[in-house]
Amino acid sequence: MRKQLAPYGERMTRALDKFIDEYEIRNRWINVGPTRAYLRKGPLYVNGQLWPATVTLANMIVRDSRQRQGCARHVLQWMEGLKGHTIKEKPIQLIYVENVLNERMLAILIRHHWYPVEKTEFPCFYKIL
């Protein structure tokens, strides 16, 4: 299974990095292999505090045949590795996953010490970098 994901992982990482480096683009669907991820970057209020440079995973779709093979985990690990990167010359300080409706994703976020956001209709999580 690792060999299967390696080329996918490299392509996904390049596509995600390109999104961060594009100065004017604030949101985008990233489509690589079995995964479609909708990301946003910019300011965000979380628990009443403004974070000027955040990256948000707003939606992720993984083809059924590739479920449970690490695709979502790869995107989350990439997000966690954004410490030291900037958005419009502001350091990224917070990463955010909104509206977590999948039980497996919920378990991954909890297991990897993401914090739940207060007072949201659907579970949302964040991590300070």
- How do residues 108-117 score in pLDDT, each as one tens digit? 999 999 999 9
Please determine, for residue 23, whether its predicted confidence score (pLDDT) is greater than 80.
Answer: no
- For residue 41, with 0-12 CB atoms within 10 Å meaning exposed, 13-18 middle and 19 or more buried, which class applies? buried
> pLDDT class for 121, splitting at 50, 70, 90?
very high
Residue 60: closest CA among 46, 79, 45 = 79
User: Confidence band (pLDDT; 50, 70, 90) for 65?
Assistant: low
Q: For the chain, how far is it from start to end, CA to CA, in angstroms?
A: 30
CB within 8 A of 25, min separation 6: which ones? 19
3-state percent helix, strand, coil for the chain, nearest multiple of 5: 35, 35, 30
- pLDDT of res. 68: 65
Give the number of domains in the chain: 1
Q: What is the CATH number of the domain that holds 83?
A: 3.40.630.30
The average pLDDT across 79-94 equals 89
Beta strands in 63-102 (DSSP E): 86-87, 90-91, 94-97
Instruction: Quote the domain boundaries for residue 28.
Output: 2-128
Phi then psi for residue 64, to 5 deg, are -50, -40
